[in-house]
Chains A and B, each alone.
Chain A
Amino acid sequence: NAGVTQTPKFQVLKTGQSMTLQCAQDMNHNSMYWYRQDPGMGLRLIYYSASEGTTDKGEVPNGYNVSRLNKREFSLRLESAAPSQTSVYFCASSRTGDNYGYTFGSGTRLTVV
């Protein structure tokens, strides 16, 4: 039972480069999320997908795009990376309306130089 799988675990980018962070869940959850966490801070929502075929902006969407490829997969794309996007990125999933909260992936540590 893998839960939520994120790739890659670590990445270094140069300013202006693009990349896609991959996320897949095997729990048949409807909802998926992308968060970023900066040092010493809480998590901030970038984008979410309440169900397959829908995506919505969260608190900090600028500089990012997402794709809900199917029910299992939700990817996050940085089109032109900036140093301000250096962060740890977490993908999460949940059952819609589930009070048992999110299941998080192990995170992607991204450094933009």
Chain B
Amino acid sequence: GQSLEQPSEVTAVEGAIVQINCTYQTSGFYGLSWYQQHDGGAPTFLSYNALDGLEETGRFSSFLSRSDSYGYLLLQELQMKDSASYFCVFYGQNFVFGPGTRLSVLP
């Protein structure tokens, strides 16, 4: 089955920029999504990329390179409230969630 790889933890300070990478296997690929999940909460949708390039939504941007089977989520002007887990999600016949990256934003 599909498996995705992303770093388990990332730490950054308020106001900084952080990039969370994700690699996936290419079989049956339609697109790559990103979700945010705060502790004890439900995942919430952040972005979706089906084509190569950068999609920007406010402070968050997501990038996809289909030829490299690679994507990333870029978070700018980090705020304390951005401390959460971030999941890349392979969109094929169904969604397959990556293991998640826990982002800690320090003051």
Contact A45-B50, Cβ < 8 Å, known A59-B1, A101-B45: no
A43 touches B31 (CB 8 A): no
Is A90 at the interface (CB under 8 A from chain B)? yes
Instruction: Determine which of B31, B33, B42, B48 lies in contact with A105 in the assembled complex, contact meaning CB atoms within 8 Å.
Output: B42
A104 touches B44 (CB 8 A): yes
Q: Which residues of A contact B96 (CB under 8 A)?
A: 45, 59
Q: Which residues of A contact B95 (CB under 8 A)?
A: 33, 45, 101-102
Contact A99-B94, Cβ < 8 Å, known A90-B43, A106-B41: no
Is B63 at the interface (CB under 8 A from chain A)? no
Which residues from chain A sit less than 8 Å from chain B, CB to CB?
33, 35, 40-45, 48, 58-59, 90, 99-107
A106 touches B100 (CB 8 A): no
Q: Which residue of A lies closest to B4 (CB)?
A: A42
Q: Which of B36-80 contact A (CB under 8 A)?
A: 41-45, 48, 50
C-alpha gap A106/B37 in the complex (Å): 11
How many residues of chain B get a CB closer than 8 Å to chain A's CBs? 21
B42 touches A101 (CB 8 A): no
From residue A102, how far is it (CB to closest CB) to chain B in Å?
A: 7
Instruction: Determine which of B42, B45, B89 lies in contact with A106 in the assembled complex, contact meaning CB atoms within 8 Å.
Output: B42
Which residues from chain B sit less than 8 Å from chain A, CB to CB?
1, 31, 33, 35, 41-45, 48, 50, 87, 89, 91, 94-100
From residue B96, how far is it (CB to closest CB) to chain A in Å?
A: 8
Q: Which residues of B contact A41 (CB under 8 A)?
A: 99-100
Q: Which residues of A contact B41 (CB under 8 A)?
A: 106-107
From residue B73, how far is it (CB to closest CB) to chain A in Å?
A: 14
Instruction: Determine which of A43, A45, A100, A107 lies in contact with B45 in the assembled complex, contact meaning CB atoms within 8 Å.
Output: A100
Q: Which residues of A contact B50 (CB under 8 A)?
A: 99
Q: Which residues of A contact B89 (CB under 8 A)?
A: 101
Q: What 3 A-B pairs are tightest by C-beta distance, nearest first?
A: A42-B97, A101-B45, A104-B42
Q: Which residue of A lies closest to B43 (CB)?
A: A104
